[in-house]
Amino acid sequence: MYNVATEEIFNDGQLIFGEGDSGDWIYVIESGSVELSKVVGEKKIIIEILKTGDIFGELSFITKSPRTASATALGETKIGIIDRKYLDREFNKLSGSFQKILKTLSYRLNKTTQIAAKTKLRRKAPRAQKVVALSFRSTEGLVKAYTENMCSNGLFINMPTPMPEGEELMLDLHMPESPRTLKIECRVAWRRTETDDSVRYPIGMGVEFTKVSDEDKKLLNKELSKVGLAME
């Protein structure tokens, strides 16, 4: 079916290629399985498990960009590397316009995959719809905002200029019935800077809690327990 130039055997857990690696070969699974994954923040997100007959690595070939995910063998896996001259020849037969269409589709698929991976990360814990005022300091000074989407390990902050991923901040959380302001150390896990639906997907950033004092955890749990949630 595919013009395979060479074959390789990978053992269980062996890395075929890593996210960010260079290379534009396309592979086909002749036997076994392959796990595609991305690292979002500091957590590994599994995108897809590929089976015999599936191909992968095509995005880097089409866009000439670094690998957008890591590929790891699950069990002993036999991989066929599709002949590069054959790929170039077939791709170059396409008109310039159609090549551009394929590249555009590939870029959009990559963007969709990134969004899906971040969605898996931020929806790992159940969320509660609760409006809470908050404030923190950024390079722009004191920022006053609010959240209406929080869980046991983080929350979403509605704001027009979200901070970069990985940025750390001290969050002042003003719970409606709390006797004092909660101070929680956080890190920006993901950000949304554009949207087609500002109601369902507002612009802002998702932050994860990195350090919470025992006293603040107790107060936060009291509020979360009202909607069936609690911190570990």
Residue type, 59: L
pLDDT score, position 15: 95
Comparing 106-110, 155-159, 202-206, the range with the smallest average pLDDT is: 106-110
Measured CA to CA, the distance from residue 157 to residue 189 in angstroms comes to 11
Kindly indicate the confidence band of residue 198, based on its pLDDT and cuts at 50, 70 and 90: confident
pLDDT score, position 10: 95
**Residue range 22-43: average pLDDT?**
86
Flag whether pLDDT at 7 surpasses 80: yes
Q: Which is nearest to 88 in space by CA: 64, 68, 52? A: 64
**Which of 14-28, 94-108, 165-179, 214-228 shows the highest mean pLDDT?**
14-28
Find out whether 16 and 27 touch, Cβ atoms under 8 Å. Answer: yes
Measured CA to CA, the distance from residue 175 to residue 187 in angstroms comes to 20
Flag whether pLDDT at 128 surpasses 60: no
Flag whether pLDDT at 232 surpasses 50: no
Task: Give ∠ CA 46-30-107 in degrees, rounded to 5.
Answer: 45
Place of tokens 């920006």: 188
DSSP state at residue 177: T
Measured CA to CA, the distance from residue 142 to residue 224 in angstroms comes to 26
Measured CA to CA, the distance from residue 152 to residue 127 in angstroms comes to 8
Measured CA to CA, the distance from residue 69 to residue 29 in angstroms comes to 16
pLDDT score, position 115: 55
Task: Give ∠ CA 123-170-204 in degrees, rounded to 5.
Answer: 45
pLDDT, tens only, 143-176:
888 887 777 788 889 888 899 989 999 999 887 7
**Going from the N-terminus, what domains does the chain have, and what CATH number goes with each?**
4-122 (2.60.120.10), 127-227 (2.40.10.220)
Which helix (H) or strand (E) segment holds residue 91: the answer is: helix 84-92
Kindly indicate the confidence band of residue 44, based on its pLDDT and cuts at 50, 70 and 90: confident
Measured CA to CA, the distance from residue 77 to residue 225 in angstroms comes to 47
Q: Which is nearest to 208 in space by CA: 134, 122, 107, 130? A: 122
Measured CA to CA, the distance from residue 68 to residue 142 in angstroms comes to 36
Q: Which is nearest to 149 in space by CA: 110, 81, 75, 204? A: 204
How many residues are present in the chain? 232
pTM, full prediction: 0.46
pLDDT score, position 32: 92
**Residue range 91-120: average pLDDT?**
66
